[in-house]
Amino acid sequence: MTLTLLSREPDGAVLIDAPGRARGASGRVLVLYGRLLGPLLAGYLLLDRAFAYIHLPGTPLYVGELTLTVGAVGVLTATGYLRIPVRDEPVLALLAAWFLWGLFRLPPGIRTYGIISALRDFALCYYCFFAFFTVAALARAPDLLDRWLAQLARFAPWLLVWLPFALVLPFHVHAPSLPFTGGVSVLSLKPGNAAIAALLALGFMWLFPETRSAQSRALLSIVALLVMLLSATQNRGGLLGATAGAVVGLAFLPSRQRLRLIVRAIAVIVIALFVAVQLNFSIPTASNQGRAFTASQFITNVLSIKANAGSGATGTAAARDLLWGLVYKQQVADGKLTDGYGFGVNLPYLVNDTQVTSGADPLRSPHNSHDDILARLGVIGISLWIALWLGWYWRMIAGCLRLARRGMHTRRQVGVLCMMAVTAYLVSSFFDPQLEGAQVAALMWTATGVGVAVTSFRGWFRPSNNDVVRWARAS
């Protein structure tokens, strides 16, 4: 069974899979960037850190940065495709202001700590170029959106089939490493990222039900929920992120459909936990590799969110809270609350937190991307950060409501999926320094840019189909 993307023009004509319709010779590199983006994000969802870089002798080449380089060349050769959206969209201007403040705080770190350390920490800011370049690519070739939707329709089922194995097998087998990764195992997917990946696949299937049969959608939905349950035994941040993203998606569904999905999801979870308890189901792990995959461990992790669980679950949270507090107090004592420490300084090392500064690859942030922004960019940076997301959500909610009134349901559903993704990653980033790595940052910032595009009614984004995108099954 294959999926063929059909796009209907306003005059009724139907085009088959016509992405990237030409808009002149300029901007071809931006189209290339758009075509590279799908495989890049798919690689991150499937393999996480194993897909992050190619390790050549003495030099790791990060695939996210290589893709950004293509986007930068595309923008430099056709500046109007980015300049006009930034001029017309206030939320992009807010993002530009936040990035420029980070750029202003970069040179002192380079002088003090060296260019490598400073740029490594500055990734927290420059990954936002995924949003800018996605907007520019869609301004140049709006039908890239159709291409990405068709790719996601084919990719989502395979992702859900892969995720349970990617979660459980690392604790039981010695998986081979991928070529050119410097020994990184092919099974390196973080449990929290797996939960959100399952949420995105689940959200896509229910926002675009025409892409799967009812039976296939039901079966894959059960798999997605089981992946979330399994990952929740290992990581609470992913559980909270996936839950927050699901709440956002449910809020935009009709009330009857919302209630039906909630009841079914609760039923699947309750039955799965009941069966696991009755059969004493357990997938043990080595003591130094993670918690056991059991119903009791899931319940313990859920209860630990309110600090009601045992010491094994609360110890990690307490250590993380201690690190947040130490960094903040040190920042106040050093008079860096307004403008932050900048980039290059190892923040846990600054407060002598030996729990996270030992080892070959010590943690450099307060184990919280938002706290990292406060520490490095100060009150000015965190204020711009908060203003950015308040503006983005206001834009997305108003835009989705407007799209619904105009009957532009495909663009509305894409906007809702973008809000689900961004919300999940923003919430989970309170518990892990995720936005400092391309594996999550590329996904979140791309969703940010796509969301701006699909909710825009200005001239820079004119998709050829105007709304109607549907997937037809062809044998």
- Predicted confidence band at 11 (pLDDT cuts at 50, 70, 90)? very low
Which pLDDT does position 316 carry in this prediction? 58
| Count of domains for the chain | 1
Is 337 strand, coil or helix?
A: coil
pLDDT digits (tens, 9 = 90+) for 23-51: 445 789 999 999 999 999 999 999 888 88
Average pLDDT over residues 130-143: 96
pLDDT digits (tens, 9 = 90+) for 223-272: 999 898 888 887 788 889 999 999 999 999 888 888 888 888 888 878 87
Average pLDDT over residues 50-76: 82
- Predicted confidence band at 176 (pLDDT cuts at 50, 70, 90)? low
According to DSSP, the residues that pair with 7 across neighbouring strands are: 15, 469
Sign, Cα dihedral of 30, 31, 33, 34: positive
Residue 443 dihedral angles phi and psi, to the nearest 5°: -65, -45
**How far, in Å, CA of 227 to CA of 186, rounded?**
18
Does residue 358 lie in a domain region? yes
Does residue 16 lie in a domain region? no
**How far, in Å, CA of 446 to CA of 44, rounded?**
13
Residue-by-residue DSSP string for 367-386: S-HHHHHHHHHHHHHHHHHH
Which pLDDT does position 273 carry in this prediction? 72
Does residue 354 lie in a domain region? yes
Q: Is the pLDDT of residue 452 over 90?
A: yes
Does residue 15 lie in a domain region? no
% of the chain surpassing 70 pLDDT: 75
- Which residues, in sequence order, are CB contacts of 362 under 8 Å at separation 6+? 346, 348, 349, 356
Q: Is the pLDDT of residue 57 over 70?
A: no
> What is the rounded radius of gyration, in angstroms, for the C-alpha atoms of the chain?
22
Residue 56 dihedral angles phi and psi, to the nearest 5°: -90, 160
Does residue 2 lie in a domain region? no
For residues 261, 263, 264 and 268, what is the CA-based torsion angle, rounded to 10 degrees? 140
**How far, in Å, CA of 160 to CA of 178, rounded?**
21
Closest CA to 210 of 12, 473, 404, 414: 473
**Whole-prediction pTM value?**
0.86
Structure tokens at 265: 């999801």
Q: What is the residue range of 86's domain?
A: 27-474
For residues 375, 376, 382 and 383, what is the CA-based torsion angle, rounded to 10 degrees? 120
**How far, in Å, CA of 28 to CA of 20, rounded?**
9
Residue 124 in contact with residue 373, Cβ under 8 Å? yes
Q: Is the pLDDT of residue 412 over 70?
A: yes
Closest CA to 32 of 83, 74, 75, 84: 74
Average pLDDT over residues 9-30: 49
- Predicted confidence band at 339 (pLDDT cuts at 50, 70, 90)? very high
Q: What is the three-state SS of 82-150? A: HHHHHHHCHHHHHHHHHHHHHHHCHHHHHHHHCHHHHHHHHHHHHCCHHHHHHHHHHHHCCCHHHHHHH
Q: Is the pLDDT of residue 344 over 60?
A: yes
Residue-by-residue DSSP string for 230-291: HHHTT-HHHHHHHHHHHHHHHHTS-HHHHHHHHHHHHHHHHHHHHHHHHTT-EE---TTT--
Q: Is the pLDDT of residue 336 over 70?
A: yes
Does residue 17 lie in a domain region? no
Q: Is the pLDDT of residue 307 over 60?
A: no
Which pLDDT does position 366 carry in this prediction? 85
65-74, 320-329, 339-348, 365-374: segment of lowest average pLDDT: 320-329
Does residue 9 lie in a domain region? no
**How far, in Å, CA of 259 to CA of 257, rounded?**
5
Does residue 6 lie in a domain region? no
Which pLDDT does position 108 carry in this prediction? 94
Is 15 strand, coil or helix?
A: strand
Structure tokens at 30: 């931006």
